[in-house]
Amino acid sequence: MKPRPAVLGATAAAAALALAAWGLSLARGAPSAEPSPPPTRSLIRVEYGGEPVGYVADRTVVDEAVSALLAGIPPEGRAPVDPRPRLRTEAEAAPASTPVLDSAGLAAALRAFVPDVTKAWMLTVDGREVVPVRTREDAERVLATIRDDYLQRVLREASRVDQVRIVGSIGFVERWVPASAVRTPEQAAEVLRFGTDRKIFYTVSRGDTLWDIARTRGVSVDDLVTANPEIDPDRLQPGQQISLTVREPYIHIESTETQVYEEEIPFPEHVVKDPDLWPWESRVIEPGRPGRREVTARVERRDGQVVRREIVSTRLLAEPRPARVARGTRQAPKLGTGKLCFPVNGQITSGFGYRRRDWHPGIDIAAPKGTPVHAADAGTVTFVGWDAGYGLTVRVDHGGGNIVTVYAHLSSAAVRVGETVERGQVIGQVGSTGRSTGPHLHFEVRLEGRPANPLDFYP
């Protein structure tokens, strides 16, 4: 057995090695400690409508700032400027360097978010608050402005305005309002007369056109097309929904006026028969002359539009002189074969007879604009021109007036009155003129002047 001091020597050597290693570690440098976080403090974050306003020490500062903001404004005028409905506060740990607002600073910051308010006179219609003006005198001027503007427009046509009445009870009360909402008397008059825009929807019925819808609703066709880009203006379909933006005035103006004006009296025609002229021809033997009369009428308007006109008296100024006209009675030669060809290739979209309550005296054949239209049989052209709702129209007599065919809504005509046409000859092109919902041919057959079903003439 070895002596014990040798063991102690080994232990001492190990301790020396450990101490040397620790010393080496110190020489190389020990790992650095993590940096301490920046100091913070508990503050109240203030937001208005989701926008940051600033930080305060506690919520009492917010209450003091709101009180300062509303100081001098009576309770009835505080609603437009009171920030509390949109004010939000939340406690959070903010950096110690965060600027802190006092009540005066917070009040100043909030003024950037809320409107300035002022005392004004609010115009009311049937108890409904509509528009504010600056003074009571301005409020009284609004009514005078409305009447004066209306009279200026009406007097262009009237000899005397007997009465002007504003429909709607107009009053005014003192109110605190945002300063930016105050209007001049002229601006307030416009608001009362024209009101606000209101969107409505119209359901298309058979026979409707954009022009008819626009005219009856007081808007332009361009506005309708812009508001309804998905609709084809030339092909309205029953049941379609059309969006309309219409004015909804706060007041209406009714007036009664007296008009004195001259009007023409049409001259009558005395017709004499001329066997040398065709039935579709005429000749003026002696021209007529219209008469003149003075008319006194009572006219009622609503918002400038005439709603009733009553003739009170008339005074004859000049008698009309009748015209003498020769009308042809010469028997037209029979040209037609009696076998009709179809005037245009296309689908029949509306048949002969009643459509709901309306009588349809022919058939409608859909075809693209510009498609050639052919004479259904040989004959003589007796009419080319505009025929009210039929638009551009051609009529062909197929012999003595017994059978006449009618071609309506054309975009152009290729024949003239008196011209003889062959069966199948091009006489025009499909269009959408007159009262039409889209390009198509309205085709009629008339027997002895009465409409007959065109399909009865085809096998």
pLDDT (tens digit, 9 = 90+) per residue, 422-455? 999 999 999 999 999 899 999 999 988 889 999 9
Q: At what angle do helices 136-154 and 185-194 cross, to 10 degrees?
A: 60
Distance CA 277, CA 298 (A): 47
Q: How far apart (Å, rounded) are the C-alpha atoms in residues 153 and 434?
A: 32
Residue 362 scores a pLDDT above 50? yes
Q: Mean pLDDT over residues 355-378, rounded?
A: 90
- CA-to-CA distance for 347 and 371, rounded, in angstroms? 13
Question: pLDDT value at position 22?
Answer: 40
The C-alpha atoms of residue 77 and residue 97 are separated, in whole angstroms, by 39
Each residue's pLDDT tens digit, 189-212: 988 888 877 777 888 888 788 888
| Six-digit token string for 109 | 């910051």
* pLDDT at residue number 385: 95
Range 84-96 average pLDDT: 89
Q: What is the pLDDT of residue 328?
A: 87
Alpha helices (H) along 95-209: 103-111, 136-154, 185-194
Torsion of CA 233, 234, 237, 240, to 10 degrees: 0
Whole-angstrom distance between the N-terminal and C-terminal Cα of the chain?
Answer: 141
| Per-residue confidence (pLDDT) for residue 335, from 0 to 100 | 65
How large is the average pLDDT for residues 282-307?
Answer: 92
Contact call for residues 165 and 255 (beta carbons, < 8 A): yes
Q: Which helix (H) or strand (E) holds 6?
A: helix 5-28
pLDDT bucket at 8, cuts 50 / 70 / 90: very low
- Tens-digit pLDDT profile for residues 227-264: 788 888 777 888 888 887 777 888 889 999 999 999 99
Q: What is the pLDDT of residues 56-70, one digit of tens each?
A: 999 999 999 888 888
β-strands 269-274, 323-328: how paired? parallel
pLDDT score, position 23: 47
CA triplet 216, 220, 225: central angle to 5 degrees?
Answer: 110
Higher pLDDT, 392 or 19: 392
| Percent of the chain residues past pLDDT 70, beyond the cut | 90
Contact 165, 208 (CB under 8 A): no
Predicted TM-score of the model (pTM): 0.47
For residue 205, the model assigns a pLDDT of: 86
CA dihedral 43, 46, 47, 51 (to 10 degrees): -70
All domains in the chain, ordered by first residue: 40-114 (no CATH), 196-248 (3.10.350.10), 257-328 (2.20.230.10), 347-457 (2.70.70.10)
Q: What is the mean pLDDT of the chain?
A: 85
Please enumerate in sequence order all residues whose Cβ is within 8 A of that of 225, keeping only pairs 6 or more positions apart, or say none. 210, 231, 233
Reduced to 3 states (helix: H, G, I; strand: E, B; else coil), residue 451 is strand
The rounded distance, in Å, linking the Cα atoms of 383 and 418 is 8
Section 8-22 average pLDDT? 40
Instruction: Place 133 in a pLDDT band, splitting at 50, 70 and 90.
Output: very high
100-121, pLDDT tens digit by residue?
A: 999 899 988 888 888 778 889 9
Cβ proximity of 403 and 450 under 8 Å: no
Least confident of 35-44, 154-163, 173-182, 296-305: 154-163
How big is the CA angle at 404 (ends 206 and 234), to the nearest 5 degrees?
A: 25
Is pLDDT of 213 > 70?
yes
Please state, in angstroms and rounded to a whole number, the distance separating the CA atoms of residues 169 and 183.
20
